[in-house]
Every structure is written in C-alpha cells, then in structure tokens.
C-alpha cells in the first residue's frame, strides 16, 4: 500500500509546505530563521549552530516507513542533510 499522490499524512505538511520560524541563538540572542523542514542552522551573527526548541513536528520522517515516498526523494534528502548538520 503506497502513498496516494493526492493524499499525504498530516505530519508531513510542515515538511512539504515549509514556513520560516525564528529561534533565538543561545550564544548571542539573534533571531535565526529556521524553516519548518530544517532542524538546525548557523547563526548569521556569531556562527553558533542553533537547533529548534521542539523538532517533534518533523519526527514522523524519523520513524515512518513511507516518509521517503510521502515527501519525495528531493525533500527527503534535503531534510536528512539538514538533520546531519
């Protein structure tokens, strides 16, 4: 049973329809823009790696057997690369 191209699990919405979120840098306090399909990003001011406070919104891609199919190869690869740092 595969993923229908017109229907996706609700958990993948934040990855498929990414939106920017601001997270404070723990070192300098600068607001760092991290998209909802990313896990971390470097602070543009001081270079500190800033990680989302609550990455649970993308957790479904961690355990779902259909994540690669649901998200598509390009988005899945980009998400995995973001996770790796």
The count of structural domains within the chain is 1
CA distance 18 to 76: 13
Does 4 reside within a domain? no
Report residue 8's pLDDT band, with 50, 70 and 90 as the boundaries: low
Per-residue model confidence as pLDDT tens digits over 24-83: 999 999 999 998 878 889 999 999 999 887 555 456 777 788 878 877 788 788 777 877
Domain that holds residue 42: 10-80
Per-residue model confidence as pLDDT tens digits over 10-29: 666 666 778 899 999 999 99
- Whole-Å CA distances, 10 to 26, 33, 34, 40, 71: 31, 23, 20, 22, 11
């Amino acid at each position: 049973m595969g993923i229908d191209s017109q229907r996706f699990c609700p958990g993948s919405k934040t990855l498929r329809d990414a939106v920017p979120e601001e997270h404070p840098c723990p070192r300098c306090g600068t607001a760092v823009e991290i998209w909802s399909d990313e896990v971390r990003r470097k602070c543009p001011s001081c270079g500190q790696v800033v990680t989302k406070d609550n990455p649970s919104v993308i957790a479904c891609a961690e355990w779902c057997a259909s994540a690669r199919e649901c998200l598509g190869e390009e988005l899945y690869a980009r998400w995995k690369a973001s996770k790796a740092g």
